[in-house]
Amino acid sequence: MIRTLVGVLGAISTLFPDKIVGIFEKLAIANPSEGTVRGWVRPAVRSEGVLIAAISLFNGRAYTWLMNLTGLFGAIVLLFPDLYRRFATAFLYERPESIEWNERFKSAVRAIGALYVFLAAKTYRERHNDT
């Protein structure tokens, strides 16, 4: 079930990277018109989507690695949302100093982190119950 959901999300990112970036900016950034996303971001979203969708087709080491990485990222985002926001701003935007985050998005970042940790833990538990 989780693998299917992850695969569908990967496919959506592959097909609609501009929409994904637009939705993210609308929800996360207080002044989205002030910032310019770096040129490589949309192709990277698409590439990540292709990789996630492909990995999700198989339940092997690559999928295990993907879910472990998802859990690690989720834990970092859950525990350090401000660090995530600072890193994301510097990494994704050409003029990071012009970006203002929606303050309520901090709770959303934590919720996303908790969801990622939950999904990784559930996948880990399912993997170890099958052996």
| Rounded Cα distance, 123 and 129, in Å | 10
Q: Which residue range(s) make up the domain with 43?
A: 1-130
Q: Which parts of the chain register pLDDT below 70?
A: 130-131
Secondary structure of the chain in the HEC alphabet?
CHHHHHHHHHHHHHHCHHHHHHHHHHHHECCCCCCCECCCHHHHHHHHHHHHHHHHCCCCHHHHHHHHHHHHHHHHHHHCHHHHHHHHHHHHECCHHHCCECCCHHHHHHHHHHHHHHHHHHHHHHHHHCC
How deeply is 120 buried, as exposed, middle or buried, from its count of CB atoms within 10 A (0-12, 13-18, 19+)? buried
Burial class (CB in 10 A: 0-12, 13-18, 19+), 63: buried
pLDDT in tens, 20-38: 999 999 989 998 888 899 9
pLDDT of residue 6: 87
* pLDDT single digits (tens) 98-110: 999 998 888 999 9
pTM: 0.82
> Domains in the chain: how many in total?
1
Residue 3: the pLDDT is: 85
